[in-house]
Structure 1
Amino acid sequence: MSDVLPTATSAPVSRDWTAHAVRRIEADYNRSADTHLIPVDLPALADIALYLKDESSHPTGSLKHRLARSLFLYALCNGWIGEGMTIIEASSGSTAVSEAYFARMLKLPFIAVVPRSTAPEKIQAIEFYGGRCHFVDRPGDAYAASEQLARDLGGHYMDQFTYAERATDWRGNNNIAESIFAQMSREPCPTPRWIVCGAGTGGTSATIGRFARYNLHDTQVCVADPEASVFHRHWADRTVQTTSEAPSRIEGIGRARVEPSFIPGVIDRMIAVPDVASIAAARVLSRRLGRRVGGSTGTNLWACALLATEMAQASERGSIVSILCDHGDRYASSYFNDDWLSAQGFDVGPYERRMDAFFADGRLPA
Structure 2
Amino acid sequence: METGDEGAGTATGADVPSASTLDVDRTDPAYRAWLKDAVRKVQADANRSADTHLLRFPLPEAWGIDLYLKDESTHPTGSLKHRLARSLFLYGLCNGWIRPGKPVIEASSGSTAVSEAYFAALIGVPFIAVIPRTTSWEKQRLIEFHGGQCHLVDDPRTVYEVSARLAQETGGHYMDQFTYAERATDWRGNNNIAESIYQQLRLERNPCPAWIVATAGTGGTSATIARYVHYMQLDTLVCVADPENSVFFDGWVSGDDAVACERGSRIEGIGRPRVEPSFVPGAIDRMMKVPDAASIAAVRTLEAAIGRKAGGSTGTGLWSAFKIISEMVAAGRTGSVVTLICDPGDRYLDKYYSDAWLAEQGLDIAPYSATMETFLATGAWQG
Q: Per the shorter chain, which TM-score range?
A: over 0.9
Aligned partner of 1:244 in structure 2 is 261
State the SS of the aligned residue for 2:205. coil
Aligned partner of 1:305 in structure 2 is 322
In the alignment, structure 1 residue 277 sits paired with structure 2 residue 278: no
Please tell me the residue identity of whatever aligns with 1:11: V
In the alignment, structure 1 residue 12 sits paired with structure 2 residue 29: no
Match of 2:278 among 253, 261, 269: 261
In the alignment, structure 1 residue 22 sits paired with structure 2 residue 34: no
Distance in 2 (CA, whole Å) between partners of 1:28 and 1:240 is: 36
In the alignment, structure 1 residue 152 sits paired with structure 2 residue 169: yes
Aligned partner of 2:73 in structure 1 is 56
State the SS of the aligned residue for 1:100. helix
Identity, in percent, stands at 59
Q: How does 1:180-199 map to 2 (within 5 A)?
A: 180-199=197-216
In the alignment, structure 1 residue 353 sits paired with structure 2 residue 364: no
1:291-322 Cα offsets, whole Å, 9 max, x none, are: 21110000001100110011111111110001
Q: Under a length normalisation based on structure 1, what TM-score does the superposition of the two structures give?
A: 0.98
Please tell me the residue identity of whatever aligns with 1:190: P
Q: How does 1:35-50 map to 2 (within 5 A)?
A: 35-43=52-60, 46-50=63-67
Please tell me the residue identity of whatever aligns with 2:25: P
State the SS of the aligned residue for 1:177. helix
Match of 1:73 among 90, 93, 97: 90
State the SS of the aligned residue for 1:340. helix
In the alignment, structure 1 residue 89 sits paired with structure 2 residue 109: no
Contact 1:6 1:156 in 2 (8 A): yes
Distance in 2 (CA, whole Å) between partners of 1:95 and 1:30 is: 20
Aligned partner of 1:32 in structure 2 is 49
State the SS of the aligned residue for 2:270. coil
Distance in 2 (CA, whole Å) between partners of 1:250 and 1:355 is: 19
Distance in 1 (CA, whole Å) between partners of 2:209 and 2:52 is: 18
CA change 1:51–1:348 in 2 (3 A) is same
1:133-152 Cα offsets, whole Å, 9 max, x none, are: 00111111000000000011
Distance in 2 (CA, whole Å) between partners of 1:239 and 1:51 is: 33
Distance in 2 (CA, whole Å) between partners of 1:209 and 1:4 is: 30
Q: Structure 1 residue 100: deviation in Å?
A: 0.3
1:62-115 Cα offsets, whole Å, 9 max, x none, are: 000000000000000001111111010000000000000000111111100000
State the SS of the aligned residue for 1:134. strand
1:206-263 Cα offsets, whole Å, 9 max, x none, are: 1001000000000011001113211111111112422234322001111111111000
Q: Under a length normalisation based on structure 2, what TM-score does the superposition of the two structures give?
A: 0.93
Contact 1:220 1:268 in 2 (8 A): yes
Distance in 2 (CA, whole Å) between partners of 1:289 and 1:19 is: 43
Q: Structure 1 residue 12: deviation in Å?
A: 3.1
Q: How many residues are treated as equivalent by the alignment?
A: 366
1:344-364 Cα offsets, whole Å, 9 max, x none, are: 111112211212222222223
Aligned partner of 1:344 in structure 2 is 361
Aligned partner of 1:213 in structure 2 is 230
1:161-195 Cα offsets, whole Å, 9 max, x none, are: 00000000000110000000111111101001000
Contact 2:241 2:287 in 1 (8 A): yes
Q: Structure 2, unaligned stretches of length 5 or more?
A: 1-11
State the SS of the aligned residue for 1:23. helix
Contact 1:51 1:322 in 2 (8 A): yes
Contact 1:335 1:341 in 2 (8 A): yes
Q: Structure 1 residue 45: deviation in Å?
A: 5.1
Q: How does 1:280-291 map to 2 (within 5 A)?
A: 280-291=297-308
Distance in 1 (CA, whole Å) between partners of 2:219 and 2:44 is: 27
Please tell me the residue identity of whatever aligns with 2:102: M
Contact 2:18 2:168 in 1 (8 A): no
Contact 2:18 2:167 in 1 (8 A): no
Distance in 2 (CA, whole Å) between partners of 1:227 and 1:133 is: 26
Distance in 2 (CA, whole Å) between partners of 1:161 and 1:351 is: 31
C-alpha RMSD of the superposition: 1.2
Q: Structure 1, unaligned stretches of length 5 or more?
A: none
State the SS of the aligned residue for 1:270. strand
Aligned partner of 2:130 in structure 1 is 113
Contact 1:45 1:362 in 2 (8 A): no
Runs of 4+ in 1 over 3 A off after TM superposition: none
